[in-house]
Amino acid sequence: MKYKGSCHCGRIAFDVEGDIKGALACNCSMCQRKGALLWFVPRAALQLRSPEEAASTYTFNKHVIKHRFCPVCGIHPYGEGQDPEGRAMAAINIRCLDDVDLAAIPVQQYDGRSA
C-alpha cells in the first residue's frame, strides 16, 4: 500500500510504500520526548515529495541515525539509518501518515534507553 505523509506545516512531504504490520515505540531520550511510533522500511520505499534540504537533521549518541525534522513546525516525520546488515533503512513516524487508523496498529515497546 502507498501512504502519503508530511510534517504539520507541509514543508516536508513524502510517499512511502509497504504494509504496516506494526510499529515500535522506543523509550530512548529522543523518541520518548517526540512520541513517535516508528515503522521501519527499506530507504528505497520512502520517496520525498519535497527537497531533501527542506528537512533538518539531528544526531546524538552514536550518530548513526539521522533524525529528520521540520525546522518550521518541529515535527519529526522520519529518520534514516542502516539495519544490522548495513542496508539503508527509514524509520517512518506513522503519526505523520494520512488515513492510518493508529488504534489498529500493534505497537511493540523497545527499550532504547538501555541499548
**Confidence grade of residue 64 (pLDDT, cut at 50, 70, 90):** confident
pTM: predicted TM-score of the whole model, two decimal places: 0.94
CA–CA distances in Å: residue 17 to residues 13, 74, 89, 99, 102: 14, 24, 13, 14, 17
Q: What is the CA radius of gyration of the chain?
A: 13
pLDDT at 3: 98
**Confidence grade of residue 115 (pLDDT, cut at 50, 70, 90):** confident
DSSP assignment, residue 94?
Answer: G
Set out the domains of the chain in order of their start, with CATH numbers.
Answer: 2-110 (2.170.150.70)
